[in-house]
Every structure is written in structure tokens, then in C-alpha cells.
């Protein structure tokens, strides 16, 4: 019985360690495709999916933190989910590609339909201290936007 309790305790502690570990992005294209896969999977089950929040460069992370403070628990300048370019989503026809923009830069392009509307979102990744991180996001669809500008409450 003591062995079983020890094994359960070790398993519980390893789960806590895994939950607190930083998100590791080995390949930005694969990471973005996985986020969309999870969004699509949860939409079919009626659930939500919260993307990891430790994936941003320090610059973008600060803008996100500051925006959340502006909202004081509510909505700040960012009032939609930038992954789907909307508050609601029903994603289809997903295609994810990437381009190398240098040894420490990649752009991942997600093209899809959300609620029937065509969307194209570009994700700028930077390698920072050996770790890939998301540095900015741009929609090039009908109403273009740049995430860092929205977070500054730019018009």
C-alpha cells in the first residue's frame, strides 16, 4: 500500500512539474497547426481551447499584460480571438505554410474559413535565447490588422 501511495504521489508531482513547464516550440509551423487542430477539435465538442500564454516574445508579452490590465478583468483593446479573427468560430479549409525569414525568424501563414469567411493570418516568430516565440500577428484579410498595434489601442 505504501508503494502505491508513493507511486501516486510521484505521479501527481510529475504532473505538476509538467503543467508548470514552459511551452516549447520546436517548429513554429507545427505549433500553429496544432493550435488550429485543437480549436477545430474543441468546436466540434462544444468546448473552448485556451492557447498557451507563455509563447510570446518579451515585447509582445508585455503588450498583452498591459492590455489585460486596461481591461481590469474585462475586455481591453483586444476584444476578439486573434487566432480565428473573431469572437466565435467555425473553422474549415485550414492550410498552414511557413517561410524562413533568416536563421532566427519565421513567418507562419494560416489560411482558413471562419464562419464561411476567408481568413489569412500571418504569425511572426523569432528565436530568442534558443527558443521560438511569437512576436506579432497580422491579418491580411478584408479588414487588415496587426496585433501589436491593437494592443496599443491604435486606431
Domain range summary for the chain, segments of one domain joined by + = 23-151
- Over 60: is that where the pLDDT of 11 sits? no
Give the percent of the chain with pLDDT over 90. 59
Alpha carbon separation from 153 to 14, 16, 42, 70, 118 (Å, rounded): 41, 37, 30, 10, 25
The pLDDT score that the predictor gives to residue 142 is 82
**Average pLDDT score over residue span 23-28:** 94
| Secondary structure of residue 70 in the 3-state scheme | helix
Supply the pTM of this predicted model. 0.82
Residue 10 CA neighbour count, 13 Å, CB half: 6
Mean of pLDDT values over 104-116: 97
Predicted local confidence at residue 120, as pLDDT: 98
Average predicted confidence (pLDDT) for the chain: 84
Q: What pLDDT score does 13 carry?
A: 35
Q: Give φ, ψ of 38 to 5 degrees.
A: -70, -40
pLDDT at 53: 86
Span 23-151 CATH architecture? Roll (3.10)
- Whole-number pLDDT of residue 16: 35
Q: What is the mean pLDDT of residues 21-50?
A: 88
Amino acid at each position: 500500500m505504501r508503494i502505491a501511495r508513493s507511486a501516486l504521489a510521484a505521479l501527481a508531482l510529475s504532473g505538476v512539474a509538467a503543467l508548470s513547464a514552459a511551452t516549447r516550440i520546436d517548429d513554429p509551423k507545427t505549433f500553429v497547426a496544432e493550435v488550429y487542430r485543437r480549436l477545430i477539435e474543441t468546436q466540434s465538442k462544444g468546448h473552448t481551447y485556451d492557447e498557451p500564454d507563455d509563447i510570446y516574445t518579451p515585447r509582445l508579452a508585455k503588450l498583452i499584460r498591459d492590455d489585460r490590465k486596461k481591461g481590469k478583468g474585462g475586455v481591453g483593446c483586444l476584444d476578439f480571438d486573434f487566432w480565428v479573427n473573431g469572437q466565435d468560430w467555425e473553422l474549415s479549409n485550414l492550410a498552414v505554410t511557413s517561410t524562413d525569414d533568416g536563421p532566427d525568424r519565421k513567418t507562419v501563414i494560416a489560411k482558413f474559413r471562419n464562419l464561411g469567411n476567408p481568413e489569412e493570418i500571418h504569425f511572426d516568430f523569432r528565436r530568442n535565447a534558443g527558443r521560438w516565440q511569437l512576436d506579432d500577428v497580422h491579418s491580411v484579410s478584408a479588414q487588415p490588422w496587426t496585433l501589436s498595434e491593437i494592443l496599443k489601442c491604435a486606431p
